[in-house]
Structure 1
């Protein structure tokens, strides 16, 4: 799919800090945005404060996930005033996974940091994340103490416990928005649906070094949470998806094949037994066992065909579950 890209020249003033974005980039900060107009100016200010002492060439990539509250206009103003800023505007709301995927695709830095736009993640934790990244490929934040109501904390605790139990990856807060990555990690992790919750799990399954770092968490000051009561159920479905991706994504026939082999083997045994009975002169046309044997053989064949189709889909072209209206990005020559 061809993505329409709009490139605008820089019109804002170039301070010593902002010109670090021009040329090669060391650090990309990716921020998904969905109806966070009230928090964006303060978030930008805090990001500038956190990045200024690092002496790194950095870029700020804001992905507007279909905002309708004026966030887009604020992001355009930030773009105009700072050549480090990129703005990716979606045509509608596609979800956080799509926003992160688009941001990762646009990122040019050797290191990538993600955080939410609601100011609950503290941008001043970025230096600590980068320091921890020296000994790892992915650093996942652990919000502690967590400043959310119990109606969010308890389901999150249950969910994280299930993730640890089923995947063997012992993280306290797998879905924390504050994370740091080496660029090669995000280039290899497929993101669609709601898989952003499980990036550390998917990275660990590929052999990347994943560590967890306690980070500050702040209560929400503006707007409202975008997550409703269906979040927990969606997370469980996504957990099943991740378990399948980890164990059988490269070879889905191995999963469906076992069921197919079992059904086909039992069905063949039943029909072989009935064939012997028929040769011995016993009628079998009225026996329910004949129907069961034929049914099991049919189901077994269908499992094998499903596995083969899954193999074809697995090796098909990568998917893109979002559509970009515009992409504001400054030219490298300023």
Structure 2
């Protein structure tokens, strides 16, 4: 948990957007909608429900169309195919109108009745509030890899939260304007937000069993998450100064190569002077010379790539027009 900062915006005027990724959750959607709208009746905030159908192959979009017809606060974005959760989040964040954005899964494993907990924590001045599925850990095949993953990420990033995978989060819109997610980076939003200086808090929530449908969790998700951790480390620490990253490798490689060359050159002169009598010190008989030259060349290449990367970053002329998804249909303004 990080130190909170005071906000001067009027809470009564704030608007809440729920960003809800959907993938083959037809049996859960109506109940989710009913429970969110019921709990929001106890709150004074205006709100919207933004569902992103991530290329569902069941009747999820048909269910969403019926919900949309009955409630003007509902909007629906339908992807042409399954682009993944990060793309769904991006589409939701880009189209959300709220001052506060709340994300949660649509499989009913996140309890809508806990939404006020996130709102109350945001009132304390935090920029991002993330859930910790403290109660109900699920089967060992899911809880053990998750626990290992969270411990590793917390140790490497220095962010002391317990559940990076938890989708139940609340953000101020300023946070999401500053970051862009792709691949599996949605689980690292707290890391990306902290790198921008935003404050983070964590609250304990329940982890409910799935009622309908099938879990999308698999070991490949764990592997992708660990690989994306390397991406996050790089973009949060070295994106603005790539030479600092590549230069370290280049420096060590060059110094190692130089040390090998100097050692054997000195040994060769001592051999020629008769101080070292073994013929093994003849520079022409040492394959390590080739290794030293190779290390120096590799080091120079690292420096060169780092300098080119610095030029690219400093030019600030890179424009990524590919958003990572394509939309088939949008329901609602």
Q: Give 2:158's match in structure 1, choosing from 160, 168, 171.
A: 168
**1:115 to 2:104 alignment:** yes
**1:97 to 2:99 alignment:** no
Distance in 1 separating the partners of 2:264 and 2:146 = 54
Q: What secondary structure, in the 3-state scheme, does the structure 1 residue paired with 2:98 have?
A: coil
Q: Cα deviations across residues 170-192 of structure 1 (Å, max 9, x unaligned)?
A: 11111111111111011112201
Q: Cα deviations across residues 252-291 of structure 1 (Å, max 9, x unaligned)?
A: 2101101101212333444456667888996745532331
Q: What secondary structure, in the 3-state scheme, does the structure 2 residue paired with 1:54 have?
A: coil
Equivalent residue, structure 1, for 2:8: none
Equivalent residue, structure 2, for 1:13: none
Query: Could you list the runs of 5+ residues in structure 2 that have no partner in the other structure?
Result: 1-12, 273-281
Which aligned pairs between 1:152-301 and structure 2 lie closer than 5 A? 152-271=142-261, 284-301=283-300
Change (3 A) 1:70 1:167: same
Root-mean-square deviation (Å): 2.3
When Rg is computed on C-alpha atoms for both structures, the one with the higher figure is 2
Distance in 1 separating the partners of 2:35 and 2:93 = 22
Conserved 8 A contact 1:147-1:219: no
Q: So what's the TM-score if we normalise by structure 2?
A: 0.85
Q: Cα deviations across residues 281-308 of structure 1 (Å, max 9, x unaligned)?
A: 9674553233122201211122123324
Conserved 8 A contact 1:25-1:59: no
Q: Give 2:323's match in structure 1, choosing from 320, 324, 327.
A: 320
Q: Cα deviations across residues 39-65 of structure 1 (Å, max 9, x unaligned)?
A: 001111111112222222211111111
Change (3 A) 1:147 1:267: closer
Equivalent residue, structure 2, for 1:11: none
Q: Cα deviations across residues 142-167 of structure 1 (Å, max 9, x unaligned)?
A: 11212522211111111111122211
Larger RCO of the pair (alpha carbons < 8 Å, separation 6+): 1
Distance in 1 separating the partners of 2:208 and 2:285 = 71
Query: Could you list the runs of 5+ residues in structure 1 that have no partner in the other structure?
Result: 1-23
Distance in 2 separating the partners of 1:78 and 1:163 = 38
Which aligned pairs between 1:303-318 and structure 2 lie closer than 5 A? 303-311=302-310, 315=316, 316-318=318-320
Q: Give 1:132's match in structure 2, choosing from 112, 115, 121.
A: 121
Distance in 2 separating the partners of 1:43 and 1:309 = 50
Conserved 8 A contact 1:25-1:108: no
What is the number of residues matched between the two proteins? 307
Distance in 2 separating the partners of 1:310 and 1:329 = 42
Distance in 1 separating the partners of 2:267 and 2:220 = 55
Distance in 1 separating the partners of 2:319 and 2:307 = 16
Q: What secondary structure, in the 3-state scheme, does the structure 1 residue paired with 2:233 have?
A: helix
Change (3 A) 1:173 1:112: same
